[in-house]
Amino acid sequence: MDNVGIVVDDLAAAVAFFTALGLELEGEAEIEGVWADRTVGLDGLRSAIAMMRTPDGHGRLELTKYHTPAAITPGPPDPAPNTLGLHRVMFAVDDLDDTLARLRPHGAELLGEVARYENAYRLCHLRGPAGTILALAERIG
């Protein structure tokens, strides 16, 4: 897999959120033109993207802010975790409590609570930029 794409309404805020999570900004670009229209299937596409890289260098997120056509909001905002489609993106973290403390000022909201799975992980699900569901996993034991 090369990357996971997330459409956001505030690109700078999303970059700040994922930077606080520990990802690194790899680059930013403006996307438009016939090739973009054909690839995505939208006419008159104009967007800004920020490519974020995980600290280990093996994973990337492409954050996209659509200028034209404007992004649309699906069904109910902040859909439930059992909504069909992409469920969530999970990140391994070294210190779950510290990570949550860094993300809360950027709007992170826990969906439930931090839970322990056997003697292996501390886990949680949270809402990130544009209502995206993210999960964090801290290996323990």
54 and 96 co-located in one domain: no
pLDDT at position 138 is: 97
How many structural domains does the chain have? Answer: 2
Q: How far apart are CA 3 and CA 62, in angstroms?
A: 6
CA dist 70 and 53 (Å) reads: 26
Element (H, E) at 53: strand 46-53
Asked if residue 132 belongs to a domain, the reply is yes
Domain that holds residue 131: 89-139
Write down the pTM of the prediction: 0.91
Element spanning 122, H or E: strand 121-127
The answer on pLDDT for 4 being more than 90 is: yes
Q: Is residue 124 part of a domain?
A: yes
pLDDT of 110 > 80? The answer is yes
Q: Give 139's pLDDT tier (boundaries 50, 70, 90).
A: very high
Residue 123 maps to which CATH number? 3.10.180.10
CA dist 43 and 3 (Å) reads 24
Say if 84 falls within a structural domain: no
Residue 113 has pLDDT above 80, yes or no: yes
pLDDT at residue 141 in the model: 82
Q: Is 62 exposed, middle or buried (0-12, 13-18, 19+ CB in 10 A)?
A: middle
* 22 and 54 inside one domain: yes
Above 80 in pLDDT, residue 107?
Answer: yes
